[in-house]
Amino acid sequence: MSVILVTGGSGLVGSAIKHVIETEPEGSRFGKKPGETWIFARSSDGDLKDAAATKALFDKYKPTHVIHLAALVGGLFGNMKYKLSFLRENLLINENVLNASHEGKAQKVISCLSTCVFPDKVTYPLDETKIHSGPPHESNFGYAYAKRLVDVQNHAYNDQYGSNFTSAIPTNIFGPHDNFDLEVSHVIPALIHKCYMAKKNGTPFVVAGTGKPLRQFIYSRDLAKLFIWQLREYNEIDPVILSVGEDEEISIKEVADSIVKAVGFEGEYTFDTSKADGQFRKPASNKKLLSLIGEFKFTPFDQAMDETVAWFLQNYDTARTGKK
């Protein structure tokens, strides 16, 4: 019998894991296995910044396995403005979850890092060995150091207690249940919301920058399967980058084209080249993942975009849009 507790279970990634566990055939590689109970916790089930609330959550469910996704997550603006909050809240959440997992004798924990916590000055492509090899970008050092420390904690827990605590490093994620708030969200949900507003108001759809930078995007439901794989089939402490390949980088223009198609926007569509582009590429290697997982099929980008936009349109009133 196993109890898998997913912290951050109501967010973009947590909802995707719930979807996959509930829709993949029972007993299949990514489906629910006999004897498994999955618990998807949100912040109202317990504030993980608080040690007592975290302990109470763990005492209630007694998880044998933990997928730890809960975090203070934000776009560039939030990260730049609230560095101490991003550092403190994530340090507290991670410390409490790992300590409660250890005290509750959880057999395995996978925590979630991000490719944006890698050093600013680094040789590309990024790989799992380079997380600590230089300071992070100044704009997100609070979030980055808190996340990096999880890898240090995992090694220390293993060293001192033999714990099986590891981590995953996803690239840019998108999908249903994302945060579509225009002020604080990541590029894909922000552009979907902007394009939707342009269609609704009959105004131009303006994309910031030249559209030329390249990025790797992973569909949340593909990422969910990779987390389930890592939970069941990966037993090292070092992290694994969970991403599409470097050959599947796409430009911001290709992203915007896909959004225009999925939203059915037929108005004026332009790029505001007076806005900064950011770094041209920051490719991450998924070689380690591919060498371990065997066969895995990523969802084609346009299909993933269609599903995400369909979800956004159907759930506009309740989605995180910053309008409520």
Judged by CB, which is closer to ligand NAP: 97, or 262? 97
The string of DSSP letters for 24-71 reads SPTTSSSSPPTTEEEEE--GGG--TTSHHHHHHHHHHH--SEEEE---
Is 124 tagged catalytic? no
d(CA 67, CA 227): 8
Is 324 exposed, middle or buried (CB count within 10 Å of its CB: 0-12, 13-18, 19+)? Answer: exposed
Confirm or reject binding of residue 179 to ligand NAP (CB under 6 A).
Answer: yes
Q: Residue 216 pairs with which residues in a beta bridge? A: none
Amino acid at 299: T
Q: Please state the separation of Cα 263 from the chain's center in Å.
A: 24
Could you say whether residue 192 binds ligand NAP (CB under 6 A)?
Answer: no
Residue 49: CB partners within 8 Å, gap ≥ 6?
A: 89, 92, 93, 96
241 binds ligand NAP (CB under 6 A): no
70 binds ligand NAP, rule: CB under 6 A:
yes
- Backbone φ and ψ for 268, nearest 5 degrees, come out as -75, 135
Residues 75, 79, 80, 81, Cα dihedral to 10°: 110
Closest CB to ligand NAP among residues 1, 84: 84
CB of 74 to ligand NAP, least distance (A): 8
Q: Determine the residue with CB nearest ligand NAP.
A: 11
The kind and range of the H/E element at 206 are strand 205-208
From the list 4-12, 125-133, 224-232, 252-260, the region that binds ligand NAP by CB under 6 A is 4-12
CA distance 137 to 120: 5
Comparing CB distances to ligand NAP, the nearer of 44 and 235 is 44
Near ligand NAP in 25-54, by CB under 6 A = 42-44, 47-49
Write the single-letter amino acid at 63. P
Active-site entry in 143, 157, 219, 234: 143
Kindly tell me which residue out of 5, 17, 66, 69 binds ligand NAP, with binding defined by CB under 6 A.
69
CA distance 2 to 9: 17
Stretch that binds ligand NAP, among 27-35, 166-174, 244-252, 293-301 (CB under 6 A): 166-174
Task: Closer to ligand NAP by CB, 63 or 198: give it.
Answer: 63
- Closer by beta carbon to ligand NAP, 198 or else 284: 284
The interface with ligand NAP within residues 87-126 (CB under 6 A) comprises 93, 112, 114
Residue 2 binds to ligand NAP (criterion: CB under 6 A): no
Shortest Å, Cβ 202 to ligand NAP: 31
**Closer CB to ligand NAP, 205 or 219, in the complex:** 219
Distance of CA 21 to the CA centre of its chain: 17
* Contacting ligand NAP within 244-303 (CB under 6 A): none
Residues with catalytic function: 143
Q: Which residues bind ligand NAP (CB under 6 A)?
A: 8-14, 42-44, 47-49, 69-73, 93, 112, 114, 170, 172-173, 179, 186
